[in-house]
Structure 1
Amino acid sequence: MKANAENTQFLSEEEFNENLELWALLEVIYQKYGYDFRNYNYSSIRRQLKRRMEVEKIDSISQIQHLILNDKKLFHKVISDFYINVTELFRDPAFFKSIRNRVVPLLKSYPSIKIWHAGCGTGQEVYSLAILLQEENLFERTHIYATDVNGEALQKAREGIYPVGLIKENAHNYLESGGMESLSKYCTVNYGNVIMNGELRKHISYFDHNLATDSSIGEMNLIFCRNVLIYFNNELKRRAVSVFWESLCHKGFFCAGANERLLGEENEAMFEVFDEKNKIYRKREAA
């Protein structure tokens, strides 16, 4: 076995050696605990790992590798660092406005709608979509499948409980996205937290899914995978995009994150650009 060439080319000797240590650590994590980060972007993984090493006063990647073999608490801290959950309600309002104005009118032709939100994190964007669909009178015939590999994040998403400042902080996003009501309509305040309304949760299923190893979860009309692919190397990105293509119905929609781009010519055969600015794509059949 050897370290992924994509992650080790054009490096100094010190950086190359550090990448070898990182590759060995990720291999240990996979073999010992079954979590597969081997095809994640090394630079992102390294940044998170360095922060953890500073906090724990650990001198080297080799040392942290030795420690996590027998210290499950440290292991869980490390993998939690790898899962970067940066989300909010109606994040990137222009994107949600495009979904509302351009995608939703086409979805209305379907008698039932299935949506996969891959890498849903703590669920704010899932609830954003649920609110949008409710306002467009589509939520009752929609089911959202929200998945992630981070069990702790999934539990927070299921509960739908967030800090009380969430509504105030994200109200502007909601209005900019074309919101029709007050965002506070969709939650209740209790003991310093906001709880998303039960009506929003009844058509959402949360479960574990790993894009590095798992396959399609069924035929979907719309797939969200926003701000996840940027943490994958090209090999893993290629795998994930293929799973999404296989999972989409005829002319189904795939949504990537604002800072993400697909792989070029090979994906042009799989997807046509529907909204270039907001990274919304539509499935081609002749792939």
Structure 2
Amino acid sequence: MNNVIGLNPKPQLSTQAFEQLLHLLHHVYGYDFSGYSKASLLRRIYKFMDVQGVTDGQQLIQLLAGDTSVFHSFLETITVNVTEMFRDPGFYKSIREKVLPVLATYPQINIWHAGCSTGEEVFSLCILLYEAGLLHRTRIYATDINASYLEKARTGVLPMTHMREYTLNYQQSGCTGDFSDYYTALYDHVLIHREIRERVVFLQHNLVTDRSFNEFQLILCRNVMIYFNKQLQNKVLKLFHESLSSLGFIGLGMKESLLFSEYRSKYSVVDGSVKIFRKKS
């Protein structure tokens, strides 16, 4: 029965309203989502509409256009935040064994972690560098499109509830120290020690619209481009290619690869099982 009291109608977004929404996000707020996978983007838009009790596209557009606080809530839903410390431990083990020994030959190391979310994976990399004796001569630029994620990352505060899982990830990544040495417990949260965080610069950066800002020996962008269409993926890979030094390394997510992109011939495979590649000279 369609008219049951208490049931909200399913949100609807016409093609025209979808295009108007993309125009609003780009030209009013500066976020270009036109190259994102439409199916993935629509799922997250419908999720937001359902939470807000919005049933049609025009109502959503009016809501976003008239209230910046609603927009920030919308952005939280649209930009996926799935992260954990030492996520995919095999990736970090490979970075430790196959990438860091090469980076150790450089007097100064620049690393770009694009799409850093709330910082868990950045701090994981910092711990690897610290244990390899490289953190003191490394500058890590951690960027994300979402300013609120960056604010959380800057604090270095993480939920205590995940520490058991993170400890297991740390051990499986091949690290041999005591993971608890890198944080201080604060009731139901932990604080990552300053000496681990101090070499990180957190910056807001939009992979879709912003340019390169340095030259890097290592770029990490994991599980970000899976939400982009093929054209946008190639655009971002071009940005990374121009930002990477000769013989520099790039690490992608487990479902991402360079092998089906137009940049395939410009890289050699370091570890195909965890998607680590090296730029050819």
- Structure 1 length normalisation: TM-score? 0.90
- 1:225 maps to which residue? 221
**1:217: how far off?**
1.6
**1:198: how far off?**
0.5
Q: What is the CA–CA distance in structure 2 between the aligned matches of 1:238 and 1:266, rounded to whole Å?
A: 7
Q: Is the 8 A contact 1:221 1:253 kept in 2?
A: yes
- 2:6 maps to which residue? none
User: What is the aligned-residue RMSD (CA, Å)?
Assistant: 1.4
Does 1:143 pair with 2:150?
no
Q: What is the CA–CA distance in structure 2 between the aligned matches of 1:64 and 1:142, rounded to whole Å?
A: 44
Unaligned runs of 5+ in 1: 1-16
- Describe the SS at the equivalent of 1:69: helix
Q: Is the 8 A contact 1:114 1:143 kept in 2?
A: yes
- 2:3 maps to which residue? none
- 2:240 maps to which residue? 244
- Structure 1 residues 19 and 172, CA gap change in structure 2 (3 angstroms): farther
Which consecutive segments of 4 or more residues in structure 1 shift more than 3 A?
17-20
Aligned with residue 84 of structure 1, among 72, 80, 89: 80
- 1:180 maps to which residue? 176
Q: What is the CA–CA distance in structure 1 between the aligned matches of 2:27 and 2:139, rounded to whole Å?
A: 35
- Describe the SS at the equivalent of 1:73: helix
Aligned with residue 64 of structure 1, among 15, 39, 60: 60
Does 1:131 pair with 2:127?
yes
- Describe the SS at the equivalent of 2:262: helix
- 1:8 maps to which residue? none
Aligned with residue 48 of structure 2, among 52, 58, 68: 52
Q: What is the CA–CA distance in structure 2 between the aligned matches of 1:63 and 1:270, rounded to whole Å?
A: 47
Aligned with residue 36 of structure 1, among 32, 35, 39: 32
- Structure 2 length normalisation: TM-score? 0.92
Does 1:235 pair with 2:231?
yes
Q: What is the CA–CA distance in structure 2 between the aligned matches of 1:62 and 1:104, rounded to whole Å?
A: 51
| 1:90-101 mapped onto 2 (5 Å cutoff) | 90-101=86-97
| Deviations 1:93-152 (CA, angstroms, capped at 9, x unpaired) | 000000011111111111111100001000000000000111111111111110111100
- 2:193 maps to which residue? 197
Stretch deviating more after TM superposition (151-160 or 254-263): 254-263
Percent pairwise identity:
42
- Describe the SS at the equivalent of 2:151: helix
Unaligned runs of 5+ in 2: 1-12
- 2:162 maps to which residue? 166
Q: Is the 8 A contact 1:21 1:61 kept in 2?
A: yes
Q: What is the CA–CA distance in structure 2 between the aligned matches of 1:160 and 1:30, rounded to whole Å?
A: 31
Stretch deviating more after TM superposition (20-29 or 223-232): 20-29
Aligned with residue 276 of structure 1, among 272, 278, 281: 272
Q: What is the CA–CA distance in structure 1 between the aligned matches of 2:119 and 2:126, rounded to whole Å?
A: 11
| Deviations 1:77-96 (CA, angstroms, capped at 9, x unpaired) | 11111111100010000000
The residue identity in structure 2 corresponding to 1:247 is S
Stretch deviating more after TM superposition (254-263 or 88-97): 254-263
Q: What is the CA–CA distance in structure 2 between the aligned matches of 1:20 and 1:272, rounded to whole Å?
A: 43
